[in-house]
Amino acid sequence: MGTIAFKKGIKRGLVLMVAVLTIYYIIESRGNLSVMKQIALQTSKSKKLPPFQPEVTEDFPTLSEGEPRIPHILHQTYKSEQIPINFASNLESFLKWNPAWTYYLWTDDSARQLIQERHPYLLEIWDNYRKPINRADALRYVVLYEFGGVYADLDVEFLRPLDRVTMKYACIFPTEPFEHSAFRLGIPYLLSNAVMMCRPKHPFIAQMLQNLAKSVVFLEQIDVAGPAFVTYNFLVYNKIDDIYKVKSSNDSSSPYFYTGTLPEDHIDAVYIPNTVYFMDTLDEHLNSEQKYYQTCSQFVLLSDLIQRACRELYKRGFHRENHQYAFTVHQWYQSYNPEILEKYLPEIFGVSLVHISQIVPNYVIY
């Protein structure tokens, strides 16, 4: 009996020692990214931490024949036809790779005219939004519903032709990098509205337009008409009651989370692409590199979701090279956020303006 008690005491002592040493190394190694990387990777070997999405080894899925499902139109918005000259290179990158596409610029005046003529039930909501970003968010759904095409923020750079992405799927909504949703909101994914593309009159976009009136009560920009609003509507549209649910099988490079019962290429489906194609850069204004790694330094104390995000961060790094199959790069200027403009970007929005016609001579204004 004494031998058994002695062995149990030794076992408890070893468990306690491992726990103490783990906490000691966590405390001592904060700020030492290479040490923390090793500790985190070793600690997680005993746990199953599935990745958020598969590795991309092939180009974006497409069809070689037939008419495009998504019209070859790019929509962008700004308060007037005079835009900050710093965005000129991004627009030029679009023209370089997509010279045959139509370019629409939507201003405050033309946007209100469109809504008044085609969606008058939204006009009161539009006029009473508390922040300009709320109108900018809502507008992008209106123009995609009416005309179809691609919407992209002005701080998006284009890396190659978009024709390929318009053939197979009727509506495409990328997610933000998974570190954003996990660290910021504690959820496994967050659909982006900085780059998105859809056929006209898609029922998912129609649902969002109908639900804009319900979300005006929220205070946060992402909830009113931003990415959280899009994500909520995606869950409702696809009758998903568990955001953590994963697919039973995955034959494409799309993320592993459950997206509903419609086939990905159904005319009414919403396809979620792998992040490397459109939305792979992390927003350093949302969280600094050091802050991400400081959070991950407490690896053993974190939830499984945050541990998965830390593994993603350790594997891919904070600053990422563009994937060979990437179409766009989001630069995350956050021009709607006055605090960020003042703190980080005074050189961008204190610069001269240029008329859109000097960059896109054949632009269309409504």
CATH fold of 69-358, please? Answer: Spore Coat Polysaccharide Biosynthesis Protein SpsA; Chain A (3.90.550)
Q: Answer whether residue 194 shows pLDDT above 50.
A: yes
Instruction: Show the tokens assigned to 87.
Output: 């965005």
The more confidently predicted of residues 284 and 195 is 195
pLDDT band of residue 6 (cuts 50, 70, 90) is: very low
pLDDT band of residue 348 (cuts 50, 70, 90) is: low
The whole-angstrom separation of Cα 218 and Cα 337 is: 17
**Residue given tokens 């034959």 in the structure block:** 251
Structure confidence at residue 276 (pLDDT): 97
The CA-atom distances, in angstroms, between 160 and each of 153, 324, 361 are 17, 10, 21
The more confidently predicted of residues 144 and 284 is 144
Structure confidence at residue 351 (pLDDT): 67
Length of the chain (residues):
366
Cβ–Cβ < 8 Å for 119, 209: yes
Chain mean position to CA 241: 21
The whole-angstrom separation of Cα 119 and Cα 91 is: 29
The whole-angstrom separation of Cα 214 and Cα 224 is: 9
Structure confidence at residue 49 (pLDDT): 83
Q: What percent of the chain has pLDDT over 90?
A: 78
| Residue-wise pLDDT tens digits, 109-142 | 999 999 999 999 999 999 999 999 999 999 999 9
Structure confidence at residue 48 (pLDDT): 75
Q: Answer whether residue 148 shows pLDDT above 90.
A: yes
Average pLDDT (87-115) is 98
Structure confidence at residue 354 (pLDDT): 95
| Residue-wise pLDDT tens digits, 35-88 | 344 444 444 444 578 999 999 999 999 999 999 999 999 999 999 999 999 999
- DSSP H/E element including 84: strand 82-84
Q: What is the reported pTM?
A: 0.86
The more confidently predicted of residues 210 and 251 is 210
**Residue given tokens 């978009």 in the structure block:** 162
Average pLDDT, the chain: 87
Average pLDDT (1-12) is 45
DSSP 8-state class, residue 185? I
CA R_g for the chain: 23
Structure confidence at residue 349 (pLDDT): 54
